[in-house]
Amino acid sequence: MADDLHILQHALGVDKYGQGDQYRNHFVTGEGSIDHPVCMRLVDAGLMTRTCGHTLTGGDDLFRVTPAGIEYVALHSPAPQPEPKLTQSQKRYREWLRADPGYSFAEWIGVPREGRRYG
């Protein structure tokens, strides 16, 4: 299920493609949350382990991904999709958004005020 994969990926600190450094291995949730039943299902499937609530987790349960869970993420994460091709105009507009120059896009690309249709 999508929830299973998402929680495993989040617990490991990887992206939706299962990529990135697995810089953590924990997920904290408590009974009554929407994630707790999903985590319990993952424990039953052998993809996570559960440590019952503790003061360090605010009383919630701590879940860790097992080696089988790590393998599950590798096998079930979708392949990354290539970035769409951008036109030169789209690239220029994104560059303006990143630059945040403090003036309009028209001014940034050098369109004279009298040549503009709007404002």
Q: What is the mean pLDDT of the chain?
A: 90
Q: What is the dihedral of CA 95, 101, 104, 110, to 10 degrees?
A: -70
Q: What are the pLDDT digits (tens) for 36-90?
A: 999 999 999 999 999 999 898 999 999 999 999 999 999 999 998 888 898 998 8
pLDDT at 108: 78
Q: Is 109 found in the same domain as 68?
A: no
CB 51 within 8 A of CB 112: no
Portion of the chain with pLDDT greater than 70, in percent: 96
Its domain, for residue 102, covers 82-119
Domain co-membership, 88 together with 67: no
**Amino acid identity for residue 36 in this structure:** H
